[in-house]
Amino acid sequence: MKAENTTKIQFDSLSINEAYARSVVAAFLARYDPTVPQLADLKTAVSEAVTNCIVHAYPDRIGPVTLCVAVYPEREVHITVTDKGVGIPDVPQAMEPLFTTGNPEERSGLGFAVMQSFMDRVKVTSRPGKGTKVVLIKRLSVRAST
């Protein structure tokens, strides 16, 4: 299946860029007229994915984060967040609610659970030492005519 429209950006893994990533997604998808709840869901999931890169992928340095947004037929949105960081040794374990590799006093371990609750599907692939790719998938409903 070929995307009807795409965009791609890259930014440093700085916490100030998390809001930028959310804004880019919202601006790009505005022409598809998502509902306010759909847009909030997408922005929340992107926020979690980007924050994971900032906190976990590059714990001791700043590195690149790539965000791609693609819209496929029938308004299916794929948002891909990729890093070249430390990677995740056990993806199924990392996706369990409350699991964190960060300081448990600062991190809840709910990032992937939050992403899954707001998206139709979440796919995670990772290679230790090579990085991680998170694909967030959500089909936008068509607004009812008034």
Output the 3-class SS for 32-63. HCCCHHHHHHHHHHHHHHHHHHHHHHCCCCCC
What average pLDDT score do residues 78-82 get?
Answer: 98
| Residue 48 falls in the annotated catalytic set | yes
Instruction: With a cut of 90, say whether residue 97 has pLDDT above it.
Output: no
- CB of 25 within 8 A of CB of 69? yes
Does the pLDDT at position 127 exceed 90?
A: yes
Query: How far is C-alpha 65 from the chain's CA centre?
Result: 11
Instruction: Give the domain ranges of the chain.
Output: 5-139
Instruction: Give catalytic status of residue 74 as yes or no.
Output: no
From the candidates 5, 52, 106, 127, give the one annotated as an active-site residue: 52
* pTM value surpassing 0.85: yes
pLDDT tens digits along 14-67: 999 999 999 999 999 999 999 999 999 999 999 989 998 898 899 899 999 999
Residue 106 in this model has a pLDDT that exceeds 60: no
> Can you name the CATH fold of 5-139?
Heat Shock Protein 90 (3.30.565)
